[in-house]
Chain A
């Protein structure tokens, strides 16, 4: 977005007369960005404070003076090259953060309580009735009860609530045996303490909660991060358009409120807000995000315009012909929603395991209780105590840590590599793929044309071309500018003539950069290689031809090969011309390539694949890919993609390379290996511990050692992810 939207609803008036506002800032990468933003703002006299939160990419500004200064601050930040979006912190950080903070508090209390309990547990474990008198033992147990009771009531809340919610609907989940175990163990320990019994399990109960809360907290954090990544994108997407009223007034209107018949003013470089047709002006429209076509289309009076495309050359006014909810964009969003609904619901591995683990644990505890009561001849208190130890021992400490620890490590590792995970189960779904479907423009290619063989031109030729081209946003002009990095010439009277090219004056000559016929190249031999071209006429010598191609990402062929040799089936689906698609497919080595595929056909193709049992990863960047991104089992899109495609994708990767697709897949696969190993370790531990618990051999010290050692082993195993390198 090149200009600000209304900031008024986001300004908070502080009691001391200052104003504050929170802004999402896209594009903060390093210390330099923080310094840049903060310094620029603090140089302004009215700014009280400006602070960037680097972790969340958010900026908080506090200032004196009028509330209307907000727009000034936003445009200052935008002037530095960052995309911004004001947001309301109260709405944005409500539920997720509160849950995360509550879990962290529970974790702190559980940690404090289990540490203090150990002070008393160790003397109890290591002494007998000779070394420590019964009175002292009893006092220690009462002190333990005093520490443990509040901790168990407070820290258990997340589990009790979830277990209660499940039981109310006649279901069970992992939290049911956890709650039963903790409550039962505590009650039995109180009973034992009161009757001067030998074993109290206060420490086991609290320690169990402590380990489980670690897993719970990490899980909430990973999900919270994924959700906020998704939400940030949504914030960025809410767009506005400028409406021209019949009395000549301009007004910024949210895209959702645009109606048929309104007149919109679209500045050069602005996104078109609605479907409609041009009333005045001539310009070029970049439709690559909708159609996958690389070259812009010329728009003249009467041309049809589509929402989501980009006006690159000159200002236009247009009449809206479709309400926002009937536009092509809305149509694509509807397609996306149907695709999402038809997608089979994915059951995570943790849910699969808990679906049979919970009943199994309950059954084992019941067998222990009844077995001791009927056949073991034990009094009911003892039988109940043994049943409680079975629940405590089987309670999935290690199981609860197995997935979240791996997930947090994998997400963090990928984030450092510029890969953003937007959905909690994305990595798990990615690990099982069999097919990869790729878009061409913007996905395998960079999505913008590059000058072919720049070395064949002299520096002075490039300098002249770049000096003119720098005045235009046309993709070919920008490609010329990228190919030249030196000082520019002072050209004058630059004019952009839509559909033709650029014209400028320099040293008394008229310079033209544009189409062949217009730049005086009609009589020069026509080169017929289907490449995109620009001709430079300096008013003196023969016109010079610049050829362009939408270059492949430099490692595209290599990555495609790696994916294919790993046993994945690759398909290319593109909306572009067959010729361009075939050239690209051959260059990267994909045999199955389809051209001229519409968004609907793309999404149908994916549904057919899924129907035939394939697990598909879709990689795409355009608006036309959005429905198929939603339909695929898992999807990725580059950070340069259309906002809506990034929203639909589960994973977003940054940079000009294609390698993140391969690396992310490898890391996802390795994470799943680790998760399965962790489950196996947890099971192995249960196989050893359950018979001991059922036989009544598990004393508090054994429970404590078993619980902490299995948790530590699982965490250590997960940490192997940090030294893993995807080859």
Chain B
């Protein structure tokens, strides 16, 4: 059972990484325009 000493912190770290990534995305307005990206792919310049 000693392996738990490593596994539990690893599980937490991964979970926190996911949560942090989500908060980062929210803070940087990644969810502001969910429909726009689908339309913009049709532009062929740029």
Contacts and interface: CB of A to CB of B under 8 A. Distances in A.
B26 A143 contact: no
A104 interface: yes
Given A34-B40, A105-B23, A136 B1 contact: yes
B3 interface: no
Interface in A22-39: 30-31, 34-35, 39
A112 B18 contact: yes
B34 A55 contact: yes
B15 to A, nearest CB: 5
Given A31-B40, A53-B33, A115 B23 contact: no
Interface string B11-40: 110011011001100100000111110011
Contact of A52 (B8, B18, B22, B36): B36
A101 B30 CA distance: 12
A105 B36 CA distance: 23
A496 B43 CA distance: 43
B27 to A, nearest CB: 9
B37 to A, nearest CB: 8
Given A101-B26, A116-B12, A109 B36 contact: no
A53 B32 contact: yes
What is the predominant secondary structure among interface residues of chain B facing chain A?
helix
Given A54-B33, A54-B36, A143 B43 contact: no
Interface string A120-137: 000000000000000010
A35 B33 CA distance: 15
A90 B8 CA distance: 43
**Which size bracket describes the interface of A in this complex?**
20 to 34
Contacts of B39: 30-31, 34, 54
Contacts of B19: 108-109, 112
Interface in A113-155: 115-116, 119, 136, 143
B35 to A, nearest CB: 5
B15 A112 contact: yes
A56 interface: yes
A53 B31 CA distance: 11
Contacts of A39: 45
Given A31-B43, A119-B11, A143-B8, A108 B22 contact: yes
Interface residues of B, number: 21
A552 to B, nearest CB: 34
Contacts of A30: 39
Interface in A413-466: none
Given A53-B33, A55-B32, A104-B26, A116 B15 contact: yes
Contacts of B32: 53, 55-56
B41 to A, nearest CB: 8
Contacts of B35: 54-55
Contacts of A112: 15-16, 18-19
Contact of A108 (B1, B8, B23): B23
A115 B12 CA distance: 10
A105 B33 contact: no
A420 to B, nearest CB: 15
B4 to A, nearest CB: 8
A53 B18 CA distance: 27
B18 A116 contact: no
Contacts of A116: 11-12, 15
Interface of B: 1, 8, 11-12, 15-16, 18-19, 22-23, 26, 32-36, 39-40, 42-43, 45
Given A31-B43, A55-B33, 6 more contacts: A35-B43, A104-B26, A105-B23, A108-B19, A108-B26, A116-B11
Interface of A: 30-31, 34-35, 39, 52-56, 101, 104-105, 108-109, 112, 115-116, 119, 136, 143
29 contacts: A31-B39, A34-B36, A34-B39, A34-B43, A35-B42, A35-B43, A39-B45, A53-B33, A53-B36, A54-B35, A54-B36, A54-B39, A54-B40, A55-B36, A56-B32, A56-B33, A101-B26, A104-B26, A105-B23, A105-B26, A108-B19, A108-B22, A108-B26, A109-B19, A112-B16, A116-B15, A119-B11, A136-B1, A143-B8
